[in-house]
Chain A
Amino acid sequence: MHPVVKTVLERLGLGLATLFFVSIIIFSAIEMLPGDFGQAILGQAALPETVAAFRQELGLDKPAYIRYFDWALGAIQGDLGTSFSGRNASGADRSAEVVDKIAPRLWNTLFLASMAALIAVPLSLILGILTALYRNSFFDRSVNTATLTTISFPEFFVAYILILFFASLNQIFPSLANVDPDTNFGERIYRTALPAFTLTLVIVAHMMRMTRAAIINLLASPYIQMAKLSGASQTEIILKHALPNAWAPIATVIAFNLAYLVVGVVVVEVVFVYPGVGQLMVDAVRTRDIPVVQGCALIFAVTYILLNLIADIIGIVTNPRLLHPK
């Protein structure tokens, strides 16, 4: 078997094992949450009888390990269970499947994440390469200062500043990114512009500096010196000789930031009133809607594992030494 295929398969196996452990951790962590759904949903108005009616109906009286296996087996088949909210003992059951609840919001989150990534990833790669090329110049220093400034501010602050300049003082973009399934594509892009810019500003520095550092690091190695001596231009050296060897660390950082775009943008969602999956999970934790919390956590775990797996694979397949074994 080709060593690349073997390594990729190994990584896949490890990914699955990680997922299994993560599912156990998610389940036990949620088991340990205090309070319960009935109390959370009824707030001040919860009476013991009403709460008991809820618990019995939701099957929370069964032992934990049975509930875990029910959930895990369902999850393997793509069934994440039924949300607790919307249930009613005396009327029709209008509770939604967790999958149906998460799907439209996950789509929104992925849309915003891809939009931010489409701007941020090429931007940071280009900036990273350019700053490596013209390192220690005035351009290098100003790009570094600017990106470090935007990453140093908390997201909500960046968001408010953008709202102030682009939605409040000059009404160029809307301050509310409240899209729904009927919003058409163009409108969707227009509405999510400000949140996408915010996220771009927050993640560019990390990826750009990693690209720059990885390339500069390689520029000191003997084979680059060799290329230089053979008369290759600076651009050629960086794009043809340095970059191929720098993909592994860059891919890891990009994967890390993409994962962050999917799982960690609750604050931006709240500020721009964007119906993403982060807000769904926060609400679900607050009201102890356990199936939804578990579903979200599992999807987040899968996102992390998958993106890191892809970064690993990119690192492996772009590594000239692995690609051309002796």
Chain B
Amino acid sequence: MKDKFIKAQQEKLTLGAIDRRQFMTSAIAAGIAIPTALSLASDAIAATPKKGGKFRMGLGHGSTTDTLDSGTSENHFTLVNGYTFGNHLTEINNEGKLVGELAETFESDDGKTWVFNLRKGVEFHNGKTMTSEDVLASYEHHMGEKSTSAAKGSLSPVKSIKADGKYKVIMELDSPDTDFPYIVSDYHISIRPAGDMTSGVGTGGYIVQSFEPGVKSVLKRNPNYWKEGAAHFDEVELLSIVDPNARQTALISGEIDAMDRVDLKTINLMKRNPNINIMQATGTAHYTFPMRLNVDPFGDYDLRMALKWAVDRQELVDKILLGYGAVGNDIPIGTANYFHNSDLPQREFDADKAAFHYKKSGHSGKIQLSAADAAFAGAVDAAQLMANSAKKAGIDIEVIREPNDGYWSNVWNNDAKGWCACYWGGRPAETMMFSAAYVAESKWNDTMWKTTDSAVKFNQLVKDARKELDESKKRDILYECQRLIYDDGGLLCPLFNSYVSANSKKIAHGKIAANWDSDGAKCVERWWFA
């Protein structure tokens, strides 16, 4: 009750409805000590965005082959840069909720035909007004037969796309998908003016001034930005600083204001610096060890189960993530997801159960596990730790160190290797994650879990979930989907990694989103100088 009152007063203070003195009076009247009340007041004021300043950010990605074409965007630098100058039909807000962005509203009666009502009066940086023509052109850029876009796969269910007047776009899917609006928030599918998909003209809060691939992107605020309460900095400089030490030194010496991907080995030293804040967000990103069911011996249910019980997950969190993360439960859905199945008991290291299932599987000899740090930092060490704990259950895992170069084409999702390390950024919607890697028709189905009874049932359930408009029914279906993967799937998911970033205390921000690193990769439009 008291909290609610104080919160309301804080809001009034922020909006300027009451002044600081009035806030203090009311807080003290509510029985709050003066120092606490003072800090409550400044918290509220700090939370009010201010305009101005030049924001410089160091990002641990970026390559000389980067472009401004969102279709080939594949690293965090291009992702942050893309969200800074461009918008999408929908977006995931900092609470993890899906809201309209360039589409003011979107609706569907059957989950099959989706109507996006576009926002009126939105201008591109070149002065052109955004209409359905541009949305159509932007989507065709990712959908054509010859398209080289990475979003080609996720847009393949779209059967037709057409405009209805200047501000309405209708998309027809080949089968119902009630989570389709999540797909259109994907960072690849940026809305650009028709006829210019690649030069970096968008509708976003910042206009690209210069872009040097693998070096930096310089932007300035878009004075005509349509979104309210966003894009507070005057100027922005995104720097690609791949070396973690260089990034951290730059932050400490004040050459940048924020950085992503703090090196966990030196994080305690960073924490001691009084001018730096460390931020941590555990979202949907996870590290996996997919077992391919079509490669021997992983087709055997008991063998998979034995390996799932043979991993000391907490040890991996402590040693690989140095505590910055959470244990995984062999489902690709994390606690940040809305329909995360929390009823499934957490799997822990259990030598007896592992030995029991291993014996039942009748397997003998070495089991090969391929890993390279290309999969995730520490993947080879993680594999070694797994081999160690499995030994206690009498299972012999042979860790094969693979080269980083070519890992994604020669090792991962390849029948030559039955078991390897992998990472996933996760997806905001459960059905999206399933479609990406667990339904039978997915090209990225790295576990090849397709033909067992449970898998067949799972595939049907995912289709049902996509059709389901009723929330509680949808929850039941998605819970069951997760249970099927948990029991029978080829997925061994021991870790949910946190995004750990650092920024100068001069930076202020609201709640941090967890769907991507750097506040959902939208920090540039969301943060401000306190």
Contacts and interface: CB of A to CB of B under 8 A. Distances in A.
Contact of B196 (A38, A92, A175): A92
Interface in B250-306: 250, 252-256
A50 B216 CA distance: 28
A280 B64 contact: yes
A287 B195 CA distance: 27
B148 A87 contact: yes
Contacts of A47: 152-153, 443
Contacts of A154: none
Of A46, A87, A168, chain B has the most CB atoms within 10 Å of the CB of A46
Contacts of B242: 270, 273
Interface string B177-211: 00000000000000000011111000000000010
Contacts of B72: 41-42, 85, 88
A48 to B, nearest CB: 8
A41 B65 contact: yes
B241 A273 contact: yes
Given A160-B245, A176-B241, A180-B215, A90 B65 contact: no
A59 interface: no
A129 interface: no
A175 B253 contact: yes
A273 B64 CA distance: 13
Contact of A180 (B210, B213, B243, B256): B210
A45 B74 contact: yes
A271 interface: yes
A87 B148 CA distance: 9
A194 to B, nearest CB: 11
B65 A176 contact: no
A39 B253 contact: no
Contacts of B149: 50, 90
Given A175-B246, A271-B245, A41 B74 contact: yes
Contacts of A175: 246, 249-250, 253, 255
A91 interface: yes
A272 B239 CA distance: 12
Given A35-B410, A90-B144, A90-B197, A174 B255 contact: yes
Interface string A129-161: 000000000000000000000000000000010
A71 B334 CA distance: 51
A101 B64 contact: yes
Interface string A183-208: 00000000000000000000000000
Contacts of A284: 64-65
B214 A176 contact: no
Contacts of B406: 34-35, 39-40
Nearest to B249: A175
Contacts of B69: 86, 88, 91, 94
Contacts of B243: 270-271, 273
B405 interface: yes
B148 A85 contact: no
Interface in B137-180: 140-141, 144, 146-150, 152-153
Nearest to B213: A85
Contacts of A286: 63, 405
B408 A46 contact: yes
A44 interface: yes
Nearest to B67: A86
B444 interface: yes
A89 interface: yes
Interface string A282-318: 0110110100100000000000000000000000000
Nearest to B214: A283
Interface in A259-285: 270-273, 275, 279-280, 283-284
A175 B245 CA distance: 10
A88 B197 contact: yes
A157 B149 CA distance: 41
Contacts of A87: 148
Interface residues of A, number: 53
Contacts of B68: 94
B252 A168 contact: yes
Contacts of A227: none
A91 B198 contact: yes
A178 interface: yes
Contacts of B152: 47, 49-50
A171 interface: yes
Contacts of A279: 64, 214
A283 to B, nearest CB: 4
Interface in A15-67: 34-35, 38-50, 53-54, 57
B74 A85 contact: no
Contacts of B409: 35, 39-40, 46
Contacts of A243: none
A45 B150 contact: yes
A178 B240 CA distance: 10
Contact of A94 (B67, B74, B195, B239): B67
A91 B405 contact: no
B428 interface: no
Contact of A38 (B141, B148, B198): B148
B374 to A, nearest CB: 9
B164 to A, nearest CB: 24
A117 B235 CA distance: 37
B438 interface: no
B196 A178 contact: no
A163 interface: yes
Contacts of B410: 34-35
A167 interface: yes
Contact of A85 (B65, B146, B240): B65
Given A175-B255, A283-B63, A286-B63, A53 B147 contact: yes
Contacts of B250: 175-176, 273
B65 A89 contact: no
Nearest to A94: B198
A160 B245 CA distance: 8
Contacts of B253: 167-168, 171, 174-175
A45 B443 CA distance: 9
A91 B197 contact: yes
A34 B140 CA distance: 32
B212 interface: yes
A86 B199 CA distance: 10
Of B74, B196, B240, chain A has the most CB atoms within 10 Å of the CB of B74
A176 B239 contact: yes
B405 A35 contact: yes
A90 B246 CA distance: 38
A44 B216 contact: no
Nearest to B443: A47
B245 A287 contact: no
Contacts of A101: 64
A92 B406 CA distance: 29
28 contacts: A34-B405, A38-B148, A40-B409, A42-B150, A45-B150, A46-B408, A47-B443, A50-B147, A53-B147, A84-B65, A85-B66, A86-B198, A87-B148, A88-B71, A90-B140, A90-B148, A91-B198, A92-B199, A160-B245, A163-B246, A167-B249, A174-B255, A175-B253, A180-B216, A271-B246, A279-B214, A284-B64, A286-B63
Shortest beta-carbon contacts, A-B, top 10 = A85-B65, A91-B197, A45-B150, A89-B146, A283-B64, A39-B409, A175-B249, A35-B406, A275-B215, A287-B65
Interface of A: 34-35, 38-50, 53-54, 57, 83-92, 94, 101, 160, 163, 167-168, 171, 174-176, 178, 180, 270-273, 275, 279-280, 283-284, 286-287, 289, 292
